[in-house]
Chains A and B, each alone.
Chain A
Amino acid sequence: MLLKAKNLKKIYGFDDNRVEALKDLSIEIEEGTFVAIVGRSGSGKSTLLHVLGGLVKPDKGEVLLEEQSLYSMSDDTLTRLRRRRMGFVFQFFNLISTQNVIENIVLPIHLDNGKVDEEYIHEIIDLLGLTEKKNAFIHELSGGQQQKVAIARALASKPAIIFADEPTGNLDAKSSKEVVDLLKIAQRQYHETVIMVTHDELIASVADRIITIEDGRIINDTKTKS
């Protein structure tokens, strides 16, 4: 099992304003699967993704990535693990606007003091159709292209798992389809595990597994034929 989460609990606020975003939630993700987490606004799906990705510490429970407990690590170790084994695609604020496309893509590798595998990076860029734009700055790209760069960046460090938080939330239908297809290609071609949060059931339908969340609990967990 690539990723395991046990009895996750996350509470925001206190006293009268206390809101339980995750209620004793457990989940297991197998390697190489494409998982879609769906649910209504405020259901806790983004919180779950952030907790699984080591971005938000749960109040209770633990998350194991490749048998390593994320929240028992030091902050620096977790960060290093995140930049080596995880990739992220967010809805907004996906890219560093002061960096061009190629710089954005290789940023996690540079931060890790790693050596850039030029051939692999160019392969990804070609795959995502960004060859002509590789030296462009972020403001010169469309929303769809920006998300493609985010996917490329997520793939750059050859992570074990990619977390995508509403990657199509800000895109038109055509671009949304392209982005989801690319995630699917990444899963297949590079044997990546993808966890995607979306509220769009059509988008979710490309996933191998669809998990539905409501009020911080999993109410449905279905494997699809795709």
Chain B
Amino acid sequence: MNKVLYQLAFRNVQKYKKHYLLSFVIIFFLSIFFISASIIGDNRYQAEKEYNQKTYGHWYVMFGIDENYKSMLEEHVQAYLPDMEYGQYYEQGIYKDNKIGFIDEVGLDLCHLQIIQGHYPTKDNEIMVSTDLSQELKLHQKVELKVNNNVNEYTVVGIVKNSQKGIFPDIYTHIHHGYPFKTIFDRDLRVNNNIIIDPNDPDGIIPIDELISNEYGYSANQSVGLYQFSVHQTIILVEISVLVIFILMILTSTSLKRRTKEFALLRGVGMTTRQLFLMIIYENIIMIIVSIICGALLSLGISYGASLYLQEQFGCFVYQLNWIKILVYVLFLVAYITCSMIFPGISSAKKSLSGAFEGKRFQYIQIRYRKLHYQKKWRLALREMRVYKGITICLFIVFGLCFIYYIGSIMNPGMQEEKTNRFESFHYLEYEVFESGEKKSIKKLNLPHTIEFHYQYVGSLNIDENGQEFTSPIQWKGKAVGVGTILCIDDTKWIDQSRINGRKPENDNEILLGNNTAMFYTDQQYNEHIVGYLSIGDSIEIHNETYYIVGQIIPNETMIAQDGIQYSSQFLPSEHTLYVSPKIYKMFPQIDDSYEYSTLRTYYTTDKERDECIEKVQSILPWVNIIDSDEGLLSNNVETLVEIEPYMLITPMAISLILCYFLNKNQITNNKQDYQLYKLIGMTNKELIFTQFCKACIMTLSMSLFGMIWIIAFYSYYHTTTIPIIEYLFSCIMILVVTSIIYCLPFYKILKTGVFIERME
């Protein structure tokens, strides 16, 4: 039995090759995309890894410190970081442009400096040389070298594979001193460009220089980039997969509908629904397998070409094929594409008999249309949209997503800022100054983008400098409540640098919220009790005036490259904070230093600007410690780093619209008989095209209604004052134009070919 079905399926694929061509092309490109993305991704990773290992060795961080701090650092590491591995490196001189130095065995191991011949020097007159230099200085050869300004004769006892020429020496001695002294750590233990041994001790900071972070191991961006890449790739693959399934379902359904009579005949001569369904699935599986095999073979070629390109980039050729992974991809593609065929297959198999023989109701349809002729064209359009709901749903989803994204991005200014700030480095200098005179001196320097933050603690019950109790001016549900920190927005610069959910305050009555800002009251025993958390849309009363929360600052965190990704403290006191205007800030009693704090920060963009700032500040206040946060990336967490970029949304939408155009064209061609009947009952070409235009109008109207609801929802949630009327109207017009093209143009083109008339004849 199956043999007959296979045979029928195979011959049908040959017969209906034109029907299957589009599906073939889509699956072919999909498999190329899936498989080559996988192979190229793996090969690129390997090539990059090989390149990095060859160039930089394994990961480490190396920096120079003053010899005086050496014992202090060792004590600190032994006491607090017992698991930390570290090596020592002294620079000791130069021999014909080659560095001479000492690295202990731990250091060699950390930097992946492998001894490939001989042994590590055990005596002061023994040396190792790098592979490059071993061409000149052979094993056991004696050579005269100037080490630490002393000239002596040394014997080459080992050859070390030096993958990082210029960073590490080419000649390794066994002499344990030199200048400068560097340490090589297996992890990063620094904060900015200092190592803080004891945060409470001003002398507990070790300045470091000549910092080298291994680019392979320490590139946090690379780790995040890889993560982002994989998440982006997954998003794209999921988008494409969903899109492809949808398209294939429509294509298969359309293609099968054309064959209703053939299926009816097969059912008539005794083919069961199951047999018919199996035959359809076999046909599709044949087409799917052929297209995936073709796609996979071409992917191998494409990825080979990509490997050649990567060879130019990384200097090493990697072309590894993970057959199991490829097989898994192929099977996955076959399975999920086949799944997309199941519904149209079952539907066609079930409806084949009634679809064909009840299709004999030509005469009745005629009567029906004759009656329909007197109905409004709008009703006809609506009926057609309901009948061909695939395209209608597709358009509705595409335009709906466009509306959500476009209008949402306009109405939420935070989203715009997020886009501009995301992934950009966030550089600033923070001055550890506590005297107001010092602050004034720094301010007088007119440094670029220098901002002072004022913030104070507001509890529900506080004690002033005279030991008197006083309650918070904030009232909530008739009770005095504390909120933690109140920060004064006296300069909007840092707000511009921040990411905000909701929107920025537009007047003095609007305030911003930090993360997890709770309201609490303090009892007589000075225990604090949380009474609720604030969120966007809430209001609070201060001195009987109402203030609205319009947005929330997303905590900005500094991402520091370490082993993996770790986060240091936040830039701003974002937790448990209210961000208020200076006018509101003044309503709170500024008690003393124990309640009020301020900090001074200069944002810079270039190293030159930074150096100038440091120089200026140090010239007047040489004792002030300046923290340079030049590694900061604006980010909330890794998840939020991954966002759907506009192209990820726009590209599938554009593809969807183009496909909708062709699907509609296909549908019109398939239903020529209907349009022939319309003409038969006296509808003119103009009326027919108008009916198509009515469909475009109905789609536009429903989308504009959807957009209106979306805007109202957005407005009620965020209290935004920005109502994008022009953008809304523009979107509606664009939808009308696009839908008109999708509905009317293919119809007009088919009408022009005169095919409807031919059919009538």
Bound complex: CA of A158 vs CA of B743, how far in Å? Answer: 52
Residues 1-45 of A contacting B (Cβ, < 8 Å) = 12-13, 16-17, 19, 21, 41-42
Contact indicator B274/A96 (Cβ below 8 Å): no
Contact indicator B267/A79 (Cβ below 8 Å): yes
Size bracket, chain A contacts: 35 or more
Given contacts A17-B368, A107-B4, contact A98 B270 (CB under 8 A): no
Bound complex: CA of A55 vs CA of B492, how far in Å? Answer: 77
For residue A99, CB closer than 8 A to chain B, the reply is yes
0/1 interface trace, chain B 2-14, chain A, CB 8 Å (1 if under): 0010001001101
Bound complex: CA of A127 vs CA of B363, how far in Å? Answer: 38
Contact indicator B8/A79 (Cβ below 8 Å): no
Contact indicator B275/A111 (Cβ below 8 Å): yes
Bound complex: CA of A49 vs CA of B684, how far in Å? Answer: 37
For residue A217, CB closer than 8 A to chain B, the reply is no
Residues in A with CB closer than 8 Å to B14 are: 98
Contact indicator A111/B271 (Cβ below 8 Å): yes
For residue A56, CB closer than 8 A to chain B, the reply is yes
Residues 8-62 of B contacting A (Cβ, < 8 Å) = 8, 11-12, 14-15
Q: Which residue of B265, B274, B368 contacts A90 across the interface (Cβ within 8 Å)?
A: B265
Contact indicator A17/B371 (Cβ below 8 Å): yes
Which of B8, B266, B354 lies at the interface centre, i.e. has the most chain A CB atoms within 10 A of its CB?
A: B8
Given contacts A55-B353, A98-B12, A99-B8, contact A12 B358 (CB under 8 A): yes
Residues 77-98 of A contacting B (Cβ, < 8 Å) = 79-80, 82-84, 88, 90, 92-98
**Minimal beta-carbon separation of B158 from chain A (angstroms):** 76
For residue A144, CB closer than 8 A to chain B, the reply is no
Bound complex: CA of A98 vs CA of B353, how far in Å? Answer: 20
For residue B262, CB closer than 8 A to chain A, the reply is yes
For residue B272, CB closer than 8 A to chain A, the reply is yes
0/1 interface trace, chain B 192-208, chain A, CB 8 Å (1 if under): 00000000000000000
Bound complex: CA of A57 vs CA of B354, how far in Å? Answer: 8
For residue A108, CB closer than 8 A to chain B, the reply is yes
Contact indicator A93/B261 (Cβ below 8 Å): yes
For residue B361, CB closer than 8 A to chain A, the reply is yes
Contact indicator B268/A82 (Cβ below 8 Å): yes
Residues in A with CB closer than 8 Å to B360 are: 46-47, 50
Contact indicator A98/B11 (Cβ below 8 Å): yes
**Minimal beta-carbon separation of B364 from chain A (angstroms):** 4
Given contacts A90-B265, A98-B11, contact A21 B364 (CB under 8 A): yes
Contact indicator B270/A16 (Cβ below 8 Å): no
Chain B residues touching A, majority SS: helix
The closest CB in chain B to the CB of A85 belongs to: B270
Residues in B with CB closer than 8 Å to A17 are: 364, 367-368, 371
Size bracket, chain B contacts: 20 to 34
**Minimal beta-carbon separation of A112 from chain B (angstroms):** 6
Residues in B with CB closer than 8 Å to A60 are: none
Q: Which residue of A12, A50, A75, A111 contacts B269 across the interface (Cβ within 8 Å)?
A: A111
For residue A209, CB closer than 8 A to chain B, the reply is no
Bound complex: CA of A99 vs CA of B9, how far in Å? Answer: 11
Given contacts A50-B357, A55-B357, A111-B1, contact A13 B368 (CB under 8 A): yes
Bound complex: CA of A95 vs CA of B11, how far in Å? Answer: 14
For residue B273, CB closer than 8 A to chain A, the reply is yes
For residue A188, CB closer than 8 A to chain B, the reply is no
For residue B395, CB closer than 8 A to chain A, the reply is no
Contact indicator B367/A84 (Cβ below 8 Å): no
Residues in A with CB closer than 8 Å to B368 are: 13, 17
The closest CB in chain A to the CB of B274 belongs to: A76
Given contacts A47-B360, A56-B357, contact A99 B268 (CB under 8 A): no
For residue A153, CB closer than 8 A to chain B, the reply is yes
Q: Interface residues, chain A, CB within 8 Å of chain B?
A: 12-13, 16-17, 19, 21, 41-42, 46-47, 50, 53, 55-57, 75-76, 79-80, 82-84, 88, 90, 92-99, 107-108, 110-113, 153, 157
CB<8 Å pairs between A and B, sample of 25: A12-B361, A13-B361, A17-B364, A17-B368, A19-B367, A42-B363, A42-B364, A50-B360, A55-B264, A56-B358, A79-B270, A80-B270, A80-B272, A82-B268, A82-B270, A88-B268, A94-B265, A96-B265, A97-B15, A98-B8, A98-B11, A98-B14, A110-B4, A111-B4, A157-B270
13 further A-B contacts with Cβ under 8 Å, apart from A75-B272, A94-B265, are A13-B368, A19-B367, A21-B364, A47-B360, A55-B267, A56-B353, A76-B272, A80-B272, A90-B268, A93-B262, A93-B264, A98-B11, A98-B12
